[in-house]
Amino acid sequence: MSLIIGCGLIIINRDFIMELKIVYSNIPLTNEKLEAVVVFVTEDSDLLGSGLRALPGALKKNLSTSLKLRVFTGKKGKSQHLFSGYAKIPQILAVGLGKKDELDAETLRRAAGKAGKMLTALKANTVGFVVTSLLQDAVETDAGLVLAEGLTLGAYEFNAYKKTGDEKSKSKSVIIQCCDPDNLTSLKALKVGKIRADGTNLARNLGNTPANDLKPKDLAAEAKKIARQHKMECTVLEEKDMKKLGMGMLLGVSRGSREPAKLIIMEYSHQQAKQTIAIVGKGVTFDSGGISLKPGKNMDEMKFDMCGAAAVLGAMEVFGQVNPKLNIIAVIPTTENLPGGEAQRPGDIVTAHNGKRVEILNTDAEGRLILGDALSYVVKEFKPDAVLDLATLTGACITALGHFTTGAITNNDALMEQVRNAGNISGDLVWQLPSYPEYGESIKGKYADLQNIGGGDSGTIIGGLFLEHFIDKTPWVHLDIAGTSWNVKHIGYQPNNGATGVGVRLLVDLVQKWKPLS
C-alpha cells in the first residue's frame, strides 16, 4: 500500500511559500517600530476623515503630501509604495478604497489583497496595518477578519517549483501586526480570517501542483492528513471496494489510467449538530478527455480538473479549526482520465451505483460520471439533509459566465438562497442557471437509461441535470467552477494566474450561517 508514504509533502513545500504570522496590538502606532505600514485610504475624504488620526505625525504629513500631489489618490484598486520620512516606520503601502459610502467587505478584502501582493514583493519582515472605524463600519462582520483574509490571500504565491536564484530568495516569513488602538477588532477575528485564507491557499496549492505530482493517491494522502490533524474520520475506498459497491461509472473513467482511482470519505461531526450536509468535489487529477481526446492546445490546464476536490479539502481544513455545529460529510471521487489501452470507449454502457445504466457517448464528459456514483453513494449511506457538489464540469460554463461567477443548478430554492447568500458574503459569487426538465430530455438514453452527453447546446445545465439522476430528491446544489477555479484576473486577492481556491470560503460561510431546511 503506497497510500500515505511521502505523498502530499511536495504539494506544500513550505520553504518556498511566504509564511505570514498575524498578531494583534492595541498599542498606539507611535510606540511601534515596524519596517512598513499598510494604510487604507478613501478617495474622497482626508486622512482624518479616513480615521487615520492614530498615525504618527511625521508619517501622516508625508502621506498627506503624497495625496495633495496626487502621487496617490485613494482610487479603488490603486496602490502606492511610499517612503514615510518617519524613522520608526520608514515605508508606507498606501491602498485605495475608492469612495467612502461605497465601501463594503469585498472592497476591503480586495484592497487588503492588493496590500498582500505588495508584501510579497517587499523586503520587509515586520509590517503593520491599521484598523479604523471607517473600515469597521464598512463590514457586517469583523473588519479584522476580512483584512487578515485579504492579506493572506493576496500574499499567496506558488513557488514550489522555482528553486533557483531570485525566486528562492523571495521566500520568507513576515509578521503582520494589526494595529488597533481603538479596540475595534479582536485576535480571534484575525485568526479566523487567516484560517479561512490558509484553507483557500491549501486548495490553490493542490490546484497548481502539476498532475505528475498530484495523483488520486496524493489527494487521498492529503485528506488523511487533514483528518488526522483535526480528529475527523477518513476512509479511502479502493477500486475493489468500488466494484463491490457497483460504481461502474467511476471505474469506467479510471480504466484508461494505471493510477488507481480512490473514493475519499471524510466525516466531521459536532455533538450539538442537528443536521448533516454532504459536500462532494470532482477530483480528476488530469483530464485528457480519454478516448474522446481533447485538443493539444491548453491541455495543461486540465491539471485544474480537481479543483472541486481541492475546495472540499480546503473547507474541511477550515472546519477542523472553526468547529461548526453541523455534521459534514466530504466525498471526493478521484481518478485520472487518460486514453490508455484499457480505456472505456464511446458507446460503452456502464452501470451506476444506483443501478441506472449509462451510455458513454463522450469519454470527456467524465466528471458527471464519477460525481454521479459519489452522489448516489453519499445520499444512500449518510442520508444528508442537503448535498452540494463542486466541479470543473463544463467548458460551456466558462463561455456562459467567464471566470468571475460560478454557475449553479439546483432542485431546492431555499438551499439555493443560502448558497447564493454565502457567495455574496465570501466573494465567491454564484449565479443560478435554469433547470427546466425540458433541458434534460436530451440525456435520456437511446440504448440505456441515460447517456452522458446531450445535444450540444446548454452544456452546463445538461451536466447539472445528469447529476440530478443520482441524488434521490435530496436538496441539492451543483456548482460548476470550471471558470472560477483558475485564471481569475484583476481581483486584488486573487493570484495573477493559476488556481483561486474558489469554493472554500463559500462552503465555510454556508456552513457557518446554516439555517436548517424545513
Q: Annotated active-site positions, please?
A: 294, 368
Region of 9-17, 30-38, 128-136, 358-366 interacting with Zn ion (CB under 5 A): 358-366
| Contact present, 319 and 269 (Cβ < 8 Å) | no
Q: How many residues sit in the footprint of Zn ion (CB under 5 A)? A: 3
Using rule CB under 6 A, residue 396 touches ligand BES? yes
Spatial CB neighbours of 70, under 8 Å, sequence gap ≥ 6: none
User: Rounded to the nearest whole angstrom, what is the least distance from the CB of residue 238 to ligand BES in the complex?
Assistant: 23
Residue 413 has a CB neighbour count (10 Å cut-off) of: 10
Cα dist. 123→81, 149, 385, 471 in Å?
12, 21, 50, 52
- Contact partner, 459, from Mg ion, ligand BES, Zn ion, none, Cβ < 5-8 Å per class: ligand BES
Cα dist. 366→71, 147, 233, 283, 516 in Å?
53, 39, 28, 11, 33
User: Rounded to the nearest whole angstrom, what is the least distance from the CB of residue 256 to ligand BES in the complex?
Assistant: 13
Element (H, E) at 307: helix 307-322
CA distance 338 to 285: 10
- Contact partner, 257, from Mg ion, Zn ion, ligand BES, none, Cβ < 5-8 Å per class: Mg ion
- Per-residue interface string for the shown chain with ligand BES, residues 469-498, x marking contact by CB under 6 A: -------------x----------------
Alpha-carbon dihedral sign for residues 296, 395, 507, 184:
positive
Using rule CB under 5 A, residue 287 touches Zn ion? yes
- Contact partner, 482, from Zn ion, Mg ion, ligand BES, none, Cβ < 5-8 Å per class: ligand BES
Instruction: Give the residue with the Cβ less far from ligand BES, 131 or 499.
Output: 499
Nearest to 178 by CA among 127, 134, 120: 127
Nearest to 377 by CA among 316, 410, 330, 310: 330
User: Rounded to the nearest whole angstrom, what is the least distance from the CB of residue 289 to Zn ion in the complex?
Assistant: 5
H-only helix segments in 172-280: 187-208, 216-229, 239-245, 248-254
Using rule CB under 5 A, residue 257 touches Mg ion? yes
* Of the candidate residues 281, 367, 407, 475, the single one contacting ligand BES (CB under 6 A): 367
* Of the candidate residues 366, 385, 389, 428, the single one contacting ligand BES (CB under 6 A): 366
Instruction: Give the residue with the Cβ less far from Zn ion, 198 or 287.
Output: 287
* Of the candidate residues 459, 475, 492, 503, the single one contacting ligand BES (CB under 6 A): 459
Binding-site ranges for Zn ion (CB under 5 A): 287, 364, 366
Binding-site ranges for ligand BES (CB under 6 A): 287, 305, 362, 364-367, 392-396, 398, 453, 459, 482
